[in-house]
A and B are shown apart, each in its own frame.
Chain A
Amino acid sequence: MNPIQTVDYIRILPELVLGAFGIIVMMADAVLKPGQSRKSLGLISLVGACAGIAATFCQIAWMHRDPSFTDPGWFGMVRVDNFAIFFHLLIPAISAICILASLEYLDAQNIRSGEYYALILFGTVGMVLMSSAIELVLIFIALEISSISTYVLAGYRRRNASSSESSIKYFLLGSFATAFFLYGVALMFGATGSTSIPEIRAALAAGSPNLLAIAATALMIVGLGFKVASAPFHIWTPDVYEGAPAPIVALMSTGPKAAAFAVLLRVLFATTQTEWFWLIWVSAALSMTLGNFGALVQNNVKRMLAYSSIAHAGYLLVAFAAGGDTGKSAAIFYTAAYAAMNVGAFAVVSHFAAGGERYVSLDDYAGLGRRSPLLAFTLTIFLLSLIGIPGTAGFFAKYYVFQAAFTGHSGALIALGIIGLINSAVASYYYLRLIVLMYMREPVMAETPASATAAMRLALVLAAIATIYLGVVPNRVLNSSQAGAQDLDFTNPGKIVYHIGQPVAPATPER
């Protein structure tokens, strides 16, 4: 009997589909003429991303049919549970919106190579895999897939010095951090004899505190902390985001980040929380503070949003520090909320940047409320969400995180929560600055911004709807994130919260 069964293929169906579409795009690229617009490839890849989502729905269907679906597959390599499904839906969606935003961008930048879309799709494969992988080997490879594709994409504007600089910085520092991660994995292997997360979890839970394992955890935190851009490993973010093409920043500030957070969730909650609590506490406080204060003085939109993304990583880590089901659930929810608003914001940035990314200074945004009402309006929604105004994803996510922090009833957590709240108030200044510029200043830019293409509009509207949806009626997503949080301990088979065409079962009140 073949040890690899059909269900195993279903467990990696989104990856397979995405990879297949990646290959299709590569092949099709060869058919197109060199100077021709690659829009058609973009559309194919868009279909691919959507197919990835569809594949995830297929997984959900299997989940309903086969209770053993959530068991580890591929000899303990992957586990497609509620947690993984959450990211399987989220990440291709992010990619899809990034692709939509790229369609126009590539033409504007006069980039005519279809590998771009293939790289996005392959990177998505890596990210998706990161969320379902439960074996450090596979996590490592998936991480590298997503990283390498983003290294390349960051340098995609090859004629541009800052783009290649961004790429090299990202690459060198990323590899540097990966080495730390690997070192941690090695020590963990030494400490527990396994690289499988459930095994590690079980070993650590059973054994006495093991310094080697602690050191291993620390080193893995370094590596993953780098990927999620949390202080003190955030330092690369502004430079890389500034130099990289805007749609790619939209992607890499959300997709790989969400995936990295997924891994961080898997890894950290496999170890003992008390060991890393203070570390994450400090990191969260530092990230929020450094990010927000850094952003206060930026004049480049991309850089500003980069600092803001550091700060948001900090908020997310607050949820980690809070721990517990609420904390994990809050962290999961936050990734989605952050993705929705940040993808949207960078999509707008990529539109306004125009050819050569000329217009990325804050002042270039003056008077946009008058010139491009729709784009300014959607950007306002994203910014408000980033500030954390009620009715938007950002608010509920933040609220949920802080609620998790306060639920602990511990002084340290409440203090962290307060630091976070003050930070989010400070942060409102720089987001507001952009809104102010758009609506309250007269344009200084001589050039009238081009009107957005339908694809761009679609991308923005989708992102805006997601932002509002997550802020106003987050029940469905909250249910999923709660279920995902419960699946993080690998023990319960996981109740199925995803339904296709059926009403959402009422969630249990949080306690």
Chain B
Amino acid sequence: MNHAILSLVTFLPAAGAVVLMLMPRNDHVLRWTALITSIVTFLFSLDIVRLFDYSERGFQSNMDINVPWILHVIHYHLGVDGISMWLVLLTTLLVPVSVLVSWKSIHDRVKEFFVLLLLLETAMIGVFLALDMFLFYVFWEATLIPMALLIGMYGHERRVYAAVKFFLYTMVASVFMLAAIIWLYTHTHSFDYATVRQWIADGNANGGSTLQWLFLGFFIAFAVKVPLFPLHTWLPDAHVEAPTAGSVLLAGVLLKMGTYGLLRFNVGMFPAQAAANAQWINVLAVIGIIYGALVALVQPNLKKLIAYSSVSHLGFVVLGIFTLTQIGTDGAVYQMLNHGISTGALFMLAGMIYERKHTYEFKEYGGLATPMPVYATFFLFAVLSSVGLPLLNGFVGEFLVLSGTFQSPLPHSMLFSILGASGVIWGACYLLWMYQKVFYGQIHHAENKGLADIDRRERVSLVPLVVMAIIMGVVSPFWMKSIDPSVGNTIPKAAVAKTKACPGQCAPAAEASVLHKISATLAGEKQ
């Protein structure tokens, strides 16, 4: 049973999708079936937590499943560690919520919608659990279709452009990853993550330039998904046009697939390259943080603003991962979960107002706190969680990321940390600006006066996220005790040590000299 749990969680939604496909088109029944399927999946996924063995730093051997699939080299290999476990749970949590939020907003082609949603869930879970690179790629690509269809079929005016852009961007990028995977296979004759990782660690790859290319192959695929500046332009379009559930899952889970990949593959498999490339990647991450925030600041459209805020937030995650420090990476993983919760909630809230107003433009809003106080309160929670208010989840991640960056031995990381920390200012700027635009002031549009506040179903769908935001903000060790060892198992030790050893570039030394300079100057003044 233990060995089946991962497969069960992965394929239960797909099974549900098949059942849905065969059911008659009774929308109500379909909705309930989808909801029940996703909730049952969530409950099963809780069992993973129950079975989790905290004494094991790497992948959990008690849940591991590894059977030959194609030609004895491609395996059906699922495994979970402290990093992927929570991402799976995030997925299984967000899907029922997405089902709820689509309850009424989807009234046309309901069956297709839920089928796609559940298929998407299977693919997403699979991405996090797959330990065979071929299988990983299969799931990775499998997320594309349902998502693109969700955007394209149920989206808004420019949905087709957005769907195609999303699809092509990610498709083109993941091709490079496929090339890298195949290359690795042809040299290692294995797709197994651990095997290949060991092969590289043993120094079997001849020459750093090959590894550099492989690193880049994986990196491009993940960077687009994250999305890292300057590969982010698909995101605003996709988000704005996507239906609410699509946005929630896109921001909540799909983007995490990118950062998860960066951590698992780019850092986990190519530690030396990760250290060598961390510089410019961190530059991009920091640009992403600031750039995303600044562009978010001037968006006239609610969803676009949230989309750009994702660019900014995911910049933190990437920054944390490529500090290659325990603290920074812990924070990054935690931030992945946080972002899923808070941005997921924001998109749901945006969807609820869209259902009432059929627009995301700020100029159509204003003063909504008066007719919709409960809604405004939920929104405030999501905003604060996103802003990174202490005791809510966002803070823990951001703090750890920045703190880790600050202490990273990589060169210039202090500067990155300081620039990244300016993100806390930008975050407040655009989110409060948004909140004010939507909720404060007088009501300018007469029809807004009569807007109905959110109903019971909508509250039910929001409550889990709000509760999670608080719990994760207060008792983060509950998560950290499993994340921390797994991160320690993933991030390189040798690579960082190596960087540390390099003369002249070593950060503490550089920083020491800076401080020394300051003190010398000040001393000179004094004398």
Interface residues of A (CB under 8 A from B): 369-370, 384, 387, 389-391, 395-396, 399, 402-403, 406-407, 409, 414, 417-418, 421-422, 424-426, 428-429, 432-433, 435-436, 439-441, 473-475, 478, 506-511
Q: Which of B124-138 contact A (CB under 8 A)?
A: 134, 137-138
A436 and B152 contacting across the interface, CB-CB below 8 Å? yes
Question: Complex: how many Å from CA A428 to CA B163?
Answer: 13
A511 and B189 contacting across the interface, CB-CB below 8 Å? yes
Name the A residues within 8 Å of B187 (CB-CB): 409
How many residues on B have C-beta within 8 angstroms of the other chain's C-beta atoms?
A: 37
**Does any Cβ of A come within 8 Å of B481's Cβ?**
no
B182 and A390 contacting across the interface, CB-CB below 8 Å? no
A509 and B152 contacting across the interface, CB-CB below 8 Å? no
3 smallest beta-carbon distances between A and B, as pairs = A390-B138, A440-B152, A425-B172
User: Which among B71, B148, B152 has the highest number of chain A CB atoms within 10 Å?
Assistant: B71
Known: A390-B141, A421-B178. A506 touches B72 (CB 8 A): yes
**Does any Cβ of A come within 8 Å of B142's Cβ?**
yes
Question: Complex: how many Å from CA A406 to CA B182?
Answer: 7
Known: A436-B164, A475-B71, A509-B72. A424 touches B182 (CB 8 A): no
Name the A residues within 8 Å of B186 (CB-CB): 403, 406-407, 409
Name the B residues within 8 Å of A426 (CB-CB): 172
**Does any Cβ of A come within 8 Å of B523's Cβ?**
no
A402 and B153 contacting across the interface, CB-CB below 8 Å? no
A428 and B168 contacting across the interface, CB-CB below 8 Å? yes
CB distance from A131 to the nearest CB of B (A): 24
| New A-B contacts (9) at CB < 8 Å, excluding given A432-B168, A478-B71, A507-B72 | A395-B141, A396-B70, A399-B178, A402-B179, A429-B168, A436-B152, A507-B71, A509-B71, A509-B72
Question: Complex: how many Å from CA A117 to CA B163?
Answer: 43
B182 and A402 contacting across the interface, CB-CB below 8 Å? yes
Name the B residues within 8 Å of A510 (CB-CB): 71, 73, 189
Name the A residues within 8 Å of B112 (CB-CB): 369
Q: Quick one: CB contact mask for B131-157 with A, threshold 8 Å, 1 for yes? A: 000100111111011001100110000
B72 and A440 contacting across the interface, CB-CB below 8 Å? no
A391 and B142 contacting across the interface, CB-CB below 8 Å? yes
Name the B residues within 8 Å of A478 (CB-CB): 70-71
B167 and A509 contacting across the interface, CB-CB below 8 Å? no
A406 and B183 contacting across the interface, CB-CB below 8 Å? yes
CB distance from B32 to the nearest CB of A (A): 22
Contact of B179 among A387, A389, A421, A440 (CB under 8 A): A421
**Does any Cβ of A come within 8 Å of B264's Cβ?**
no
Interface residues of B (CB under 8 A from A): 70-73, 109, 112, 134, 137-142, 144-145, 148-149, 152-153, 159-160, 163-164, 167-168, 171-172, 175-176, 178-179, 182-183, 185-187, 189
Question: Complex: how many Å from CA A390 to CA B73?
Answer: 17
A432 and B167 contacting across the interface, CB-CB below 8 Å? yes
Name the B residues within 8 Å of A403 (CB-CB): 182, 185-186
A440 and B159 contacting across the interface, CB-CB below 8 Å? yes
A422 and B163 contacting across the interface, CB-CB below 8 Å? no
Name the B residues within 8 Å of A399 (CB-CB): 134, 178, 182
B179 and A418 contacting across the interface, CB-CB below 8 Å? yes
Question: Complex: how many Å from CA A417 to CA B70?
Answer: 22
Question: Could you show 21 A-B contacts with beta carbons less than 8 Å apart?
Answer: A369-B153, A384-B145, A389-B142, A389-B144, A390-B141, A391-B138, A402-B179, A402-B182, A406-B179, A421-B179, A425-B171, A425-B175, A429-B164, A432-B164, A432-B167, A436-B163, A440-B152, A474-B70, A475-B70, A475-B71, A509-B189
Chain A residue at minimum C-beta to C-beta distance from B136: A390
A370 and B179 contacting across the interface, CB-CB below 8 Å? no
Known: A429-B168, A474-B70, A509-B72. A389 touches B159 (CB 8 A): no
B178 and A402 contacting across the interface, CB-CB below 8 Å? yes
Chain B residue at minimum C-beta to C-beta distance from A396: B70
Question: Complex: how many Å from CA A435 to CA B160?
Answer: 10
B152 and A439 contacting across the interface, CB-CB below 8 Å? yes
